[in-house]
Amino acid sequence: MAELMYWEAIRRAHDEELANDPNVIVMGEDVGLIGGTYKATLGLFQKYGEKRVIDTPISENSYTGIGIGASMAGMRPIIEIMSINFALLALDTLINAGAKIRYMSGGRVSCPFVMRTPGGTAHQLAAQHSARLARMFMSTSGLRVVTPRSPIDAYGMLKSAVRCNDPVIVIEHERMYNMKEEMPDNEFFRPLEGAEIVRRGTDITLIGYNWSVHLCLDAAKRLEKDGISAEVIDLRSLKPLDRETIRRSVEKTHRMLVAEEDEAANGVGSEIISIVIEECFFALDAQPVRIHAADVPVPYAENLEKAAIPNVEDVYKGALKVMGRI
C-alpha cells in the first residue's frame, strides 16, 4: 500500500496503460515535455517518447477529432482537455462525431477514446475556468461519463476507460488533484458502471458525484451528531446512471437529497429526482431537496465565489429540511 495523490493515481494509470498497449497514446496541451498542467502525465514524455505522449497546439476541436480519428483505426487515445471550459471548443468532434460514429455506422466503426478533463471551481479562477458541464455530457447518447471522487477511482476507472471500447469522458476536479488515499501497489481496475454506497445509513440518502460526494460525507458526520443516520451514494457514472442503487437506498431511507456543484436546471439533481419519482415515488416520506450552484457565471471575488458554490453547510441544512427539522 502507498498513499497517492489524485494526480499521482492518474499518472500511474497512464503509465501502466502506455506500457500495456502500444496503441495507447496521450495527447493534449502541454501533456508532454512539461508533464501536464496538473502533472497527470509527468515524466511520461521522457519515458515513452513524443510519438506516444503528444503535445498539441491550442486547437481543442481538431486535436480531439484527431484522437477520435485515430481511435477509429484501432488506437486508444487518452485526450486531455486542460479545463472543461475548453471542452466546449471540442463539442463538435466530441458529440457530433465521437459519440455518434458507432451508431451512425450501424456498429461497424467504434471510437475507443478517453477524454479526461477537470471540471468544477477551484480558487477564484472566475467564470471561464470554473465550468462544470457534467449535465451536458450526461445527456449525450453514445458517451460514457464517469466522475471519480478519489485516487482509487481516478486510477482504476481511467484504466477501465482506456480498455473499454466506448468513448469515455472522465470528469476530474481541480480541487481534488492533491487529495490523498492509500492504494494497493498491485494493478487493479474499477468498473465504469455502478454507483457506490460510500457510507451506510438509515434515515436519509445523500447523493453526490465527484466533489459533491465529499460535501455529502462531511454533512453526514454532522448529521450523525444530531442523531440522523445518513447514507451517502457516489454516483460514479453519470452516464449510464445506476437506477437500482438509488432506488434501493431510497426505499430504505424514504428521504433523499442530491448535491451537485453545477447549476440546477436540467442537471444531475433533476435527473436523479426524476428517477426516484419514476422508480419509487411511494417510498418517499418527504419532498426531495436539490443542493446546487447559484444560477450565475461563477464570480471572481472570493466571497461571491463561495456564495455561488454549495458547501457542507448547505448540504447539512438541506438534509435537516428533508428531515423536517428546520
Partner 1 sequence: MNKADQKRLLREMIFFRRFEERCFEAYMEHKIGGFLHLYIGQEAIATGVLEMAKHKHDYVITGYRDHIHAIKAGAPAREVMAELYGKETGSSRGRGGSMHVFDPTANFMGGYALVGQPFPLAAGLALACKHKGTDQIAICFLGDGANNQGTFHETMNMASVWKLPALFVCENNQYAIGTRIDRSTAVLDQYKRMCGYNIPASQHDGEDLEVVMESAKKAIDHVRSGKGPYFLEYMTYRQRGHSMSDKTSAYRSKEEEQKWSERDPLKVYSAKLKKAGVITDEDIKKLEKEVQDEIENDVIKFAEESPIPRVEDINKYVLDDNPDPRWIGPLQNTY
Please say if 172 is a catalytic residue: no
Cell of 95: 458529440
**Site membership for partner 1, residue 104 (CB under 8 A):** yes
Instruction: Supply the angle between the helices 6-20 and 151-163 in degrees, to the nearest 10.
Output: 20
**Site membership for partner 1, residue 164 (CB under 8 A):** yes
By CB under 8 A, name the one of 11, 132, 135, 144 that touches partner 1: 144
**Site membership for partner 1, residue 189 (CB under 8 A):** yes
In this chain, which stretch among 41-49, 93-101, 119-127, 201-209 interacts with partner 1, using CB under 8 A? Answer: 93-101
Q: Which is nearer to partner 1, 101 or 298 (CB)?
A: 101
By CB under 8 A, name the one of 245, 250, 262, 319 that touches partner 1: 245
In this chain, which stretch among 3-11, 40-48, 70-78, 123-131 interacts with partner 1, using CB under 8 A? Answer: 70-78
Please say if 129 is a catalytic residue: yes
**Site membership for partner 1, residue 166 (CB under 8 A):** yes
**Site membership for partner 1, residue 191 (CB under 8 A):** yes
By CB under 8 A, name the one of 15, 242, 279, 285 that touches partner 1: 242
Cell of 6: 489524485
What is the spatial distance between Cα 18 and Cα 173, in angstroms, rounded to a whole number? 23
Length of the chain: 326
Q: How many residues belong to the site for partner 1 (CB under 8 A)? A: 59
Instruction: Kindly report the three-state secondary structure assignment for every residue of the chain.
Output: CEEEEHHHHHHHHHHHHHHHCCCEEEEECCCCCCCCCCCCCCCHHHHHCCCCEEECCCCHHHHHHHHHHHHHCCCEEEEECCCHHHHHHHHHHHHHHHCCHHHHCCCCCCCCCEEEEEECCCCCCCHHHCCCCHHHHCCCCCCEEECCCCHHHHHHHHHHHHHCCCCEEEEEEHHHCCCEEEECCCCCCCCCCCCEEEECCCCEEEEECCHHHHHHHHHHHHHHHCCCCEEEEECCEEECCCHHHHHHHHHHHCCEEEECCCCCCCCHHHHHHHHHHHHHHHHCCCCCEEECCCCCCCCCCHHHHHHHCCCHHHHHHHHHHHCCCC
**Site membership for partner 1, residue 190 (CB under 8 A):** yes
Minimum distance of partner 1 from residue 295's CB (angstroms): 30
**Site membership for partner 1, residue 197 (CB under 8 A):** yes
**Site membership for partner 1, residue 59 (CB under 8 A):** yes
Q: Which is nearer to partner 1, 175 or 199 (CB)?
A: 199
In this chain, which stretch among 7-15, 158-166, 258-266, 297-305 interacts with partner 1, using CB under 8 A? Answer: 158-166
Under rule CB under 8 A, which residues in 250-279 are in contact with partner 1?
252
Choose the catalytic residue: 8, 17, 29, 129: 129
Under rule CB under 8 A, which residues in 105-124 are in contact with partner 1?
105-110
Minimum distance of partner 1 from residue 311's CB (angstroms): 27
Which amino acid, one-letter code, is at 190? Answer: R
* Residues facing 76 on adjacent strands: 24
In this chain, which stretch among 12-20, 30-38, 49-57, 312-320 interacts with partner 1, using CB under 8 A? Answer: 49-57
What amino acid positions are annotated as catalytic residues? 60, 129
What is the contact surface with partner 1 in residues (CB under 8 A)? 23, 25, 51, 54, 56-57, 59, 61-75, 92-93, 96-97, 101-110, 141-142, 144, 160-161, 163-166, 189-197, 236, 242, 245, 248, 252
